């Protein structure tokens, strides 16, 4: 059985396929504002290219935001539809900023609009500054106190396999699709 990671919460479409504690393949595409048009097609093409059917998926891992409204709605609709058709698939969720955090010192950040950022500050996966939205000037002032921290502002800045396995214990099992709580920006 395979595990699938699927994310459309940011400007990136992220798909990862895992089996036996190893990543088989991943795809990360800059897909700005087009998730609703092509995420499902990319997902099914990805599965076909790996000769995987949905009935071979044990769990779908996904992020619940913060993220773009349309991106999260696309992900949620896709995941709910799959779960409806394949009720034995487990759904596992995690906060997007938490997933982007790295071991050690990191500042996961999601930019939105022309001048705002949603961010948090972690030290060894302990939260030092809670999630918040600030303008970019304020963000730059705040991070002067964290010069030795790594800013992680996209899925291109991470190793998906490492992040997946570093955070796998932090994903939460969704008992019912009605229990999914999305955090829109």
Residue 18 has pLDDT above 90, yes or no: yes
Residue 145 has pLDDT above 80, yes or no: yes
Nearest by Cα to 172 from 90, 112, 116: 90
Tokens matching residue 34: 């087009």
Distance from C-alpha of 11 to C-alpha of 169, rounded to nearest angstrom: 25
Does 7 fall in a domain? yes
Domain shared by 108 and 118, yes or no: yes
pTM of the model: 0.93
Structural domain of 19? 2-97+156-179
Check if the beta carbon of residue 29 is closer than 8 Å to that of residue 42. yes
> How far apart, in Å, are the Cα atoms of 151 and each of 10, 46, 69, 114, 185?
16, 29, 23, 18, 19
In tens, the pLDDT along 52-82 reads: 999 999 999 999 999 888 889 999 999 999 9
Domain shared by 86 and 123, yes or no: no
Distance from C-alpha of 37 to C-alpha of 83, rounded to nearest angstrom: 20
What mean pLDDT value characterizes the chain? 91
pLDDT of residue 32: 62
């Amino acid at each position: 059985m395979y595990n699938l990671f699927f994310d459309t919460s940011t400007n990136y479409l992220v798909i990862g396929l895992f089996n036996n504690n190893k990543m088989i393949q991943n795809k990360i595409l800059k897909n700005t504002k087009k998730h609703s048009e092509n995420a499902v097609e990319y997902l099914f093409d990805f599965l076909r290219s790996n000769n995987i059917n949905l009935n071979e998926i044990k769990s779908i891992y996904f992020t619940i935001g913060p993220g773009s409204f349309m991106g999260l709605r696309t992900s949620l609709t896709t995941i709910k539809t799959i779960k409806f058709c394949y009720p034995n698939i487990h759904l596992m969720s995690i906060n997007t900023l938490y997933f982007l955090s790295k071991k050690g010192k990191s500042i996961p950040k999601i930019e939105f609009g022309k001048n705002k950022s949603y961010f948090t500050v972690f030290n060894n996966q302990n939260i030092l500054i809670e999630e918040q939205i600030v303008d970019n000037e304020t963000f730059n002032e705040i991070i002067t106190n964290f010069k030795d921290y790594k800013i992680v502002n996209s899925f291109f800045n991470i190793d998906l396999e490492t992040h997946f396995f570093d955070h796998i214990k932090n994903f939460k099992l969704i008992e019912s699709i009605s229990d999914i709580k999305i955090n829109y920006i």
